[in-house]
Every structure is written in structure tokens, then in C-alpha cells.
Structure 1
């Protein structure tokens, strides 16, 4: 017990540790503030874990076998297409509690595990970011804070959903991939890529697609380092590991549904009123871009535009500030050297570009997947962007920590971390408080909610949620102060 207390104290003395604690506490607010069995997705995920505990896998047409009292039961088992790794984690907790008649306790226990995943996600994000930026940069600490303050991270973690669990693995894989560009394809990185790729394949189908982008980047880096044999071995090892661990499940999806993904768009169109749209219609719809990247909006009290500003303004600042460096890197990559040295120059330029290019490419692929998913009427939820959110988190972090020079025009001179970061944090806290204070608990980043005419069987734990919110806000404020101190130290080191 003493060791545990000492470990917690040591964690809270570190800025990233404070960010981890803040993320867990914000997810705890979500898990307490939202009434049990509010979301149909949540009940279905819980049923999946319970069936795994009993040695079975769910089938779409069979519906839910775990049917808690007062819960809104979906008409089909619409989470059955997901791979089982997340549910293997939940099963030892959910199964015994549900079998003992404590379905509500099982749900809260599953939510609590999700809150711990939020902390792991923040930790992995900081580690992955460290591989992207230059040595000595404090930006990974800021990235940990930005990820911890994400409303969608908290909402997804505090609800029984598998998205953040999958995002943790894809972020870890991207962190390994960018390190290959920095160090070459070492054997530890080789083993890590095989393990995380396998976990991605067993976590969520979309996470496997994002993982393939990271693996492609790692392969390019390996070839640029002239490690042809080892890169070929990595390709074979990943293919063999994924096929051995997850191939059976995707074959099952094909057998049951005719598709690898295991979706049922025809049923959704017939029973949920979904309308098909063209790719162009989805892409030009303002709602798409208002919702998908909106990772910092608790909703639905403050206008969605407030959440949009929390990510869009820092990203625009980051793009404007770094546009010239990006242009130089691109021109160098395309090659302007002599014919004799062009190969070496391009190889070096590729290795310099990959640490940033891999997360950006993963984010673009995730967006493209969401556009395609929305074409037959699929929902657009920001939690679907979490597996590839590393690039967005880093861009927001870079924008928040930019310091305007003395020649900046007008109000832009006030854009300094000591002003912007606390103001940005204050808006996220205000958003949380209005969401909690109006009693409109829900998840802007979650999916199927119960129909409005369905009676609520269990009340939310509002008092406990407010107590958790006080702790969460204190931790967020402490983390903000710690991150500011780190940023100031970096400025001082640069000036010395």
C-alpha cells in the first residue's frame, strides 16, 4: 500500500503524470454523470464482453443475450463485427458481476476500466509525440495535456466503447514507426511493430487500416536506412502474426456477412432511416468537418463552434508558422541536388520527413475512411478519429505554444503560451461545467442514445460526478501550470 501511495505521488510530481491523472479523472466524471444503459452501443458492448466470458462470440441477428432490467435493448447485436481483444479485457470483470445479477455494477466496472485506458492513451500519446519532434523538445508534454483535456477522450473512456482502446494501440504503433526513421529498424522496434500491429488487428478493423499506414512508413524508413532484408522480414512477420491471431475472426465476418468488416448497411438503411449520399456530398457537407475533428467539445450546451475553435485556431496558427519549413522539406524531398548525389539527398530527406509525414498520412486515411463510412448513412462521430488523432493533437499543441514575435500585428502580439494555454484550458473547463451543470449528460462523441420516450431506469450519480469534477478541474489546473513551466524552461534554454 505504501509503495502504491509513493508511486502515485511520484506520478503527480511529473507534468505528464498530472496529465494522466487529469485524463482519468475527467473520464470518471463522464462515467458517473451519465445514467447507466443510456447508450445502445454501451449495452451491446457489455453484452459482447459477457458472451466472451461464457466462451461465445455474438451474432448480429441473434441480438443481445445479456438483457439488463430497465436498459434500452438494441434490436440486433450491432457490435458483433468488432474483433474480440477489448472484450477479453472486460470479460473477467463484466462476466462474474453480470452472472451474480449486478448488471449495473458490471457496467460501472467496465466504465472504470475505460477510465484507466484514458490515462494509458495520454501516456502513449506523449511517448509517440516524442518520436515525432526533435530531441529536447517539450512539445510531447503539451501533447499529453491537450490529449488529456479532450472531451471525446473522456466521453469514450467513460462509456463502454472500444474506440479509445484501439486508439491506444494505433498511437503506439505510430510512435514505433516514426522511431524507425530516427534510429533504423532495430530489433526492439521490429518486435514492437509486430506486437502492436497484431493488437490493432484484434482491437478494431479501422485501427488495422491506420496501422497499415504506420507499417508502410516504417517499411519506407527501413528501406531508406538500407535495411532491405530486415524490412522484408518485418513485412512477413506482421502478415504472419496478424493472420495467425486475427485471421480467423475476419474469416468469420466474411462467412456471416459476406464482408471483412462485418457491417450490415442494408439493415441500417431499412431500420434506422439512413440515407445514402455520394462521397462528394459527404465531403462538402459542413457538418462533416464541424463534427469529425471536434475532439474538445463536451456539448451540447456551449455552441459547437466553441469546440471547433479550440482545435481549429491553434491548428491554423501552427500551419501558418511552420508553412515555410514544410515547404522546404517538401522541396528537399522532391530533390534538387545533382544527378550523382540525388539518391542520397532524397533518402536523407525522406528520413527527415517521415516522423511528421506518417502521423499526418494516418490522420488523412482515417478521415477518408470516415467519409466512405458516412456514404451509406453511417454516423459521423469524433471518436472515430481517435486512432489517428496524434497529428491533430500535435498540431494543436504547436499552435498553443507558439509565441508571437514583437513584430506581430495587433492582437496577435498577445498570442503567447502564458496567455493562450490558460485561456484554452478555461474554455474546456467551462464547457465541462455547463455540460454537467445543466443535467444534460450524454456524449457528444458517443453513438446510439436511447429513444427520448424510453424511461430512464437508473439515475446518474450526480453528486459523485460533481465531486469528481472538482478533483478533475484541480488536476487540469495543476497540469496546465506544470506544462507552462516546462514551456518556459524550454524558452529559457533556447535563449541561453
Structure 2
């Protein structure tokens, strides 16, 4: 049984030579992300405090407005601090609904370290999945045997600013996941033609992007453009990769 498993694994690696480098790149990002999540104090970033406070509002069944004050009794913002309102409330609530589930109950400042860490873990999961979709996009464009996709993901995973932003509670993480997923399904439609699964994948990804950030509207436009081109080429007949 063990020999059979090793043989299957070897065949998989031979068929997908970029798989092991991809796993290595993902492990690097997860390791750096966890280090960042553990080392950054819960109240160390004004932007993260605002995203966190938005998630708390959603957890309580409220949708904040731009002038809704940050929960100073929980997050610890002083009235003298700049940006002491939930100025990110112009964004749709999908990311914050997911974060509300991960953060859980926050009754006092004693709950903050664990709550922030749980939220940051979810951000790392979102980003890791987004890196996988980015790899699939490059694999579709350059072929399964090209070393370029895994190399690009490894480079991205070690960019300090990327690792910092994507390991904290920022809606960029889910936007990255939905955006790369939409791009992947758009590429599939353009290179392989119309298919129900590809269409549904694009629909889910673009809907998620739109429900995460206002800029997701650009993802929707790009996805619709790819779909229109795919339909036109399908009607015209013939698909050339």
C-alpha cells in the first residue's frame, strides 16, 4: 500500500513538476504570515483596527456607516487618533461577515490577542488560496511543465509588503482570492471555451469580488468581457489555444 502511494505521488510529481515548488512557496508564505500575525500587536495598525471594528459591527448584526465611530472601549483608540471612524464601511460586508465568524466573541481587551490572531489566520487562508489560483492562471498560460508559475509565486510570497498586508485583517486578502479566481476562470473560458463549470466558477468568483470591495466592479467587468468573447468565439466556431 505504501509503495503504491509513493508510486502515485511520483507520477503526480512527474506530471506536475511545479507542484513541489508551489508547495514550498506556499509554506514560505504561511510561515512568514504566521510570524507577522504573531509579532504584530493587536492594536498596532490603525487600518486593521478599523477593519476589525467593522467585523464587530457585522457580528452584532449592524452595517456601519463611514461616520460610525470605532469601538474605542474595545479597540483602544484615543479620540486624538486620526481615522477614529469606520471609514472602510463603503466596502460591501462579505469579508467582514467571514471575519466576524472567525473573530468570535470580544467582551474586553483581554480577548483581543486571540481574536486578532483568529482573524489574521483567516486572512492567511484567503491569501494562500489566492496564491493557488494565481499559480493556476500562470500554469494555464505557460503550460504545466514551465518553472515560471512556481517561481513567480515564490517571489510574490517573499515580498515583505505583500506578506505584511496579507497576514493582517485587511479586506485585500479576500479581494485577492476572488480576483485571482475570477481571472483563472476567465482564462479558461478564453483558452478552452464555454463550459458550465467554468461559467459557474466565473459567476461565483466575480460575485464574491463584488461583495468584498467596491473595486470588485472592475473584476465583474473583466469577467463579463471574457464571457462575451468566449460566447462570440464559440458561435464563430473553432478554438485556438
Matched, 1:92 2:106: no
Measure, in 1, the Cα distance between the counterparts of 2:142 and 2:166.
27
Residue 5 of structure 2 aligns with which residue?
none
Shift of residue 176, structure 1, vs aligned partner: 0.6
Q: In the alignment, is the contact (CA less than 8 A) between 1:132 and 1:175 conserved in 2? A: no
Residue 123 of structure 1 aligns with which residue?
132
Residue 22 of structure 1 aligns with which residue?
28
Residue 55 of structure 2 aligns with which residue?
49
- Distance 1:206-1:40 versus aligned 2 partners, 3 A rule: same
- Distance 1:89-1:66 versus aligned 2 partners, 3 A rule: farther
Matched, 1:162 2:162: no
Q: In the alignment, is the contact (CA less than 8 A) between 1:27 and 1:118 conserved in 2? A: no
Measure, in 2, the Cα distance between the counterparts of 1:145 and 1:173.
21
Shift of residue 70, structure 1, vs aligned partner: 4.0
Residue 195 of structure 2 aligns with which residue?
186
- Distance 1:134-1:17 versus aligned 2 partners, 3 A rule: closer
Listed one character per residue, the Cα deviations across residues 400-427 of structure 1 (whole Å, up to 9, x for unaligned) are xxxxxxxxxxxxxxxxxxxxxxxxxxxx
Can you give the 5+ residue segments of structure 2 that lack an aligned partner in the other structure?
A: 1-18
Matched, 1:199 2:197: no
- Distance 1:211-1:152 versus aligned 2 partners, 3 A rule: farther
Q: In the alignment, is the contact (CA less than 8 A) between 2:102 and 2:122 conserved in 1? A: no
Measure, in 1, the Cα distance between the counterparts of 2:130 and 2:72.
29
Measure, in 2, the Cα distance between the counterparts of 1:66 and 1:215.
42
Of residues 207, 220, 230 in structure 2, which corresponds to 1:211?
A: 220
Alignment of 1:252-291 (within 5 A): none
Can you give the 5+ residue segments of structure 1 that lack an aligned partner in the other structure?
A: 1-12, 228-343, 353-496
- Distance 1:100-1:39 versus aligned 2 partners, 3 A rule: closer
Measure, in 2, the Cα distance between the counterparts of 1:137 and 1:154.
25
TM-score with structure 2 setting the length: 0.81
Residue 427 of structure 1 aligns with which residue?
none
- Distance 1:156-1:139 versus aligned 2 partners, 3 A rule: same
Of residues 138, 152, 158 in structure 1, which corresponds to 2:147?
A: 138
Shift of residue 69, structure 1, vs aligned partner: 5.6
Q: In the alignment, is the contact (CA less than 8 A) between 2:186 and 2:223 conserved in 1? A: yes
Residue 65 of structure 1 aligns with which residue?
71
Alignment of 1:438-453 (within 5 A): none
Residue 36 of structure 1 aligns with which residue?
42
Measure, in 2, the Cα distance between the counterparts of 1:75 and 1:69.
10
Residue 374 of structure 1 aligns with which residue?
none
Q: In the alignment, is the contact (CA less than 8 A) between 2:182 and 2:206 conserved in 1? A: yes
Shift of residue 100, structure 1, vs aligned partner: 5.5
Q: Find the residue that maps to 1:55 and give its secondary structure.
A: coil
Residue 9 of structure 2 aligns with which residue?
none
Listed one character per residue, the Cα deviations across residues 19-62 of structure 1 (whole Å, up to 9, x for unaligned) are 11111111122223322212211111001111111111111122
Name the stretch that deviates more: 105-114 or 81-90: 105-114
Residue 10 of structure 2 aligns with which residue?
none
Shift of residue 134, structure 1, vs aligned partner: 3.6
**RMSD between superposed Cα atoms in Å:** 2.4
